[in-house]
């Protein structure tokens, strides 16, 4: 019996040979330097912030080199897959403007390197497992889980390295006859790699981010085909990334220690080893120690956390881009008129030791980002957020679309825009006093002037003798000044500071009374603009209300 025939018995019924598969998935015809990268999630339906960072880097690397970015579904661990998991991932990523050139889409596969779902590629994995068996680089293993467990226990007890290698690899040297006999007896088997590595030998590996690192060779006879006929992650990674012609495997650092196994697989399969880039994790401080941000422990690991808070997706991306390359922020500062798409990400500038997740920085980026938006964009985002999280406020925004846009436009579309909104869950809190339906102050934040009589005097004088909705800003201000002086307050700050004792206070104290009476708040955007929007009727109503408070 030839080894090919033997391989056919072990993995029967494969439609194509590995050579045919090689021809079906030829080298991609891309310009030099083009990066082919991928996002390869298990369909668990949940994109967390670390995965988003990795995906973004993959996406951007392909984009900036005119390469290809594709989506592959890694569902060989069928226990972990959830229904609709992949659609949820696609939807989540689309919100962040991460789009795939190729791979799984909601409407099926797109591209000529598919199928892009691992459970549909069984035949392909088998073809390559057969290649290894035929070349005596893989073999069937009949060891039961029980036996493996016992061996592990002995290894642990003796302080030996764990795993299926060397003398522990019991099925490694079974002859073809022994194997065929076991199969005839109905014994179940999996397929293992016949490792050619020597654990006592070292090799140097060059990671795009981490640089050169020394590893011992792998001597483990790792499983390549499991008992359910599907490949392990390791084997599928090698076969898929080779056939899909991935140039760069950009993935989370948790895979770094698998490098000896993975590079060995590529070499033993006769494949060119792709470039690897291992992204260090986002870290969090927990009781004085640093640890990886965790899906289970940290609410801020979930993207839904930011959606609920109302941080715009674009702001999250800007933050992640600063995590990816710390010079990004400076670049943005220096290239305000350019699209961030023009920034070139560089593996060499990526962190090798883990980056602290900096929530305050994210909020700050969000605040700056929102401040540069147009009022109509802010309106849209605020409404979108409110529709999901604050129905009552959404109704108000919908009812007063024009008015709300004007409210958001106060101190907005100008050189130094107001940076009041950092996230949209706070919009009602910041603008409620601009809506009659919501204006029910529980207290008034009076400041320097809080004597009831004096407040009354100022408010009455203002409404009766000075206020006119048609005044332009300069007139409005001049009147405020004049009124202040007439009531014994300094009309300008210089005069006040020179002789504070000559006055009851100054123009700022007087206008504060009007501000608080109209909004109940001591901190608001520009009072003149607020008054313009509120209009005479409301102003009078509110002053009356304040006088009664
Ligand atoms: N399915 C693997 C994961 O979800 C992919 C790792 C890789 O990018 O190769 O971690």
337 CA distance to ligand 1 centroid (A)? 36
251 CA distance to ligand 1 centroid (A)? 7
- Torsion angle, CA of 433/435/437/438, rounded to 10 degrees? -30
CATH 1.10.10.350 residue window(s) in the chain:
452-548
| Least confident interval from 28-42, 65-79, 175-189, 194-208 | 65-79
193 CA distance to ligand 1 centroid (A)? 21
pLDDT band at 47 (very low <50, low <70, confident <90, very high): confident
Quick one: average pLDDT of 376-386? 97
- Looking at residue 81, its pLDDT comes to 63
**Which pair of structure tokens corresponds to residue 25?**
């998935």
Is the CB of 251 within 6 Å of ligand 1? yes
pLDDT band at 225 (very low <50, low <70, confident <90, very high): very high
What is the three-state SS of 227-263?
CCCCECHHHHHHHHHHHCCCCEEEEEHHHHHHHHHHH
- The answer on pLDDT for 82 being more than 80 is no
- The answer on pLDDT for 549 being more than 90 is no
- Looking at residue 475, its pLDDT comes to 97
91 CA distance to ligand 1 centroid (A)? 19
| Least confident interval from 44-58, 153-167, 350-364, 481-495 | 44-58
Decide: pTM greater than 0.75: yes
Quick one: average pLDDT of 442-451? 95
Please give the CATH topology (third level) of the domain spanning 122-279: Rossmann fold (3.40.50)
CATH 3.40.50.620 residue window(s) in the chain:
122-279
Instruction: Render pLDDT for 229-239 as a digit per residue (tens, 0 to 9).
Output: 999 999 999 99
Q: How many residues does the chain have?
A: 549
- Strand 202-207 and strand 211-216: the pairing is antiparallel
Question: CA–CA separation, 506 vs 500, rounded Å?
Answer: 9
Is the CB of 40 within 6 Å of ligand 1? yes
Ligand 1, atom 7, residue with closest C-alpha: 251
- Looking at residue 491, its pLDDT comes to 94
- The answer on pLDDT for 80 being more than 70 is no
Q: Are 334 and 340 in contact (CB under 8 A)?
A: no
Is the CB of 309 within 6 Å of ligand 1? no
Ligand 1, atom 4, residue with closest C-alpha: 41
Those residues whose C-beta lies under 8 Å from the C-beta of residue 63, and which sit 6 or more positions away, are 69, 341
Domain 452-548 maps to which CATH number in 1.10.357.10, 1.20.1730.10, 3.10.20.740, 1.10.10.350?
Answer: 1.10.10.350
- The answer on pLDDT for 45 being more than 90 is no
- Looking at residue 85, its pLDDT comes to 81
CA distances, 17 to each of 29, 114, 131, 140 (Å): 23, 16, 8, 19
Residue that has been written with the tokens 């000896």 in this structure: 260
Average pLDDT in the chain:
95
Burial profile 246-256: b = 16 or more Cβ within 10 angstroms, e = fewer = bbbbbbebebb
Is the CB of 237 within 6 Å of ligand 1? yes
- The answer on pLDDT for 262 being more than 80 is yes
- The answer on pLDDT for 538 being more than 70 is yes
Is the CB of 41 within 6 Å of ligand 1? yes
- The answer on pLDDT for 311 being more than 90 is yes
């Amino acid at each position: 019996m030839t080894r090919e025939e033997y391989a056919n018995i072990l993995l029967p019924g494969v439609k194509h040979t590995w050579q045919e598969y090689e021809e079906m998935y030829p080298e991609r015809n891309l310009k030099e330097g083009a990066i082919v990268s991928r996002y390869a999630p298990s369909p668990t339906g949940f994109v967390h912030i670390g995965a988003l960072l990795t995906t973004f880097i993959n996406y951007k690397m392909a984009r900036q080199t005119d390469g290809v970015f594709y989506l592959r579904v890694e569902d060989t661990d069928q226990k972990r897959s959830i229904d609709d998991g992949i659609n949820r991932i696609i939807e989540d990523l689309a919100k962040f403007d991460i789009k795939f050139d190729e791979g799984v889409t909601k409407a099926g596969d797109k591209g000529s390197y598919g199928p892009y779902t691992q459970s549909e590629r069984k035949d392909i994995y088998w073809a390559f497992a057969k290649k290894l068996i035929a070349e005596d680089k893989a073999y069937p293993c009949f060891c039961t889980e029980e036996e493996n467990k016992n061996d592990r226990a002995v290894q642990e007890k003796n302080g030996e390295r764990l795993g299926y290698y060397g003398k522990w690899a019991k099925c490694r040297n079974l002859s073809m006859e022994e194997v065929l006999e076991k199969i005839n007896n109905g014994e179940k088997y999996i397929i293992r790699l016949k490792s050619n590595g020597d654990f006592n030998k070292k090799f140097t590996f060059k990671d795009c981010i981490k640089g050169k690192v020394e590893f011992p060779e792998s001597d483990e006879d790792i499983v390549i085909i499991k008992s359910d006929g599907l490949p392990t992650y390791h084997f599928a990674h090698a076969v898929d990334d080779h056939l899909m012609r991935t140039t760069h495997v950009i993935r989370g650092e948790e895979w770094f220690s698998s490098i000896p196994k993975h590079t060995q697989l590529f070499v033993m399969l006769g494949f060119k080893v792709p470039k690897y880039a291992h992204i260090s994790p986002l870290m969090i401080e927990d009781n004085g120690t640093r640890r990886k941000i965790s899906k289970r422990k940290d609410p801020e690991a979930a993207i839904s956390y930011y959606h609920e808070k109302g941080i715009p997706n674009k702001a999250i991306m800007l933050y992640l881009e600063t995590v990816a390359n710390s010079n990004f922020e400076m670049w943005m500062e220096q290239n305000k008129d350019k699209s961030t798409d023009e920034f070139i990400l560089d593996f060499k500038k990526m962190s090798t030791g883990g980056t602290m997740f900096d929530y305050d920085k994210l909020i700050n980026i969000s605040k700056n980002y929102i401040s540069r938006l147009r009022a109509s964009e802010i309106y849209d985002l605020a409404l979108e957020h409110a529709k999901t999280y604050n129905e009552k406020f959404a109704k108000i925004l919908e009812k007063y679309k024009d008015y709300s846009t004007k409210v958001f436009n106060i101190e907005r579309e100008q050189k130094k825009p107001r940076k009041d909104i950092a996230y949209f869950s706070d919009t009602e809190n910041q603008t409620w006093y601009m809506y009659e339906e919501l204006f029910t102050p529980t207290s008034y934040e009076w400041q320097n002037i809080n004597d009831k009589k004096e407040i009354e005097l100022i408010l009455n004088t203002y409404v009766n003798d000075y206020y006119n909705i048609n005044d332009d800003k300069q007139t409005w201000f001049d009147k405020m000044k004049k009124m202040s002086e007439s009531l014994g307050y300094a009309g300008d700050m210089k005069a006040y500071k020179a002789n504070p004792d000559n006055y009851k206070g100054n123009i700022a104290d007087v206008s504060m009374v009007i501000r608080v009476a109209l909004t109940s708040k001591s901190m608001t955007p520009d009072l003149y603009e607020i008054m313009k929007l509120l209009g005479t009727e409301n102003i009078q109503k509110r002053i009356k209300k304040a006088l009664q408070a």
